[in-house]
Amino acid sequence: MAQNLPSSDIKPWTRPAPKGYKFTNAHIVDVASGTIIENQTLIATDGKITYLGQESSAPTELETVDCQGKYLSLGLFDVYIHLYAILGFSDLSKAFENLNN
């Protein structure tokens, strides 16, 4: 039982600090302006974007991901969708027929 344990034995679980990443050579999709900013470096630390600009000005001590030829879109997107085809009908009367016909 927890109440019988010495307080020195009770250690809460804590998450480690998030890793920092440097994404180089990325094409950034700017959804606000509808443009693409090519060959940029993006740095994310502590789960937040902390730098966006040219490679020469970026810090180097982070794990680097080369995004050559790839695009980064900033923000949260729900990309879970279902795609399927629905056959059309020449008129609505056929839409309500028995599927076995």
Q: Where are the domains of the chain?
A: 16-95
Please state, in angstroms and rounded to a whole number, the distance separating the CA atoms of residues 28 and 35.
8
* Average pLDDT for 69-77: 84
| Confidence grade of residue 99 (pLDDT, cut at 50, 70, 90) | low
Whether residue 54 contacts residue 41, with contact meaning beta carbons closer than 8 Å, is answered with yes
Rounded mean pLDDT, 77-86: 67
**Domain 16-95 sits in which CATH superfamily?**
Urease, subunit C, domain 1 (2.30.40.10)
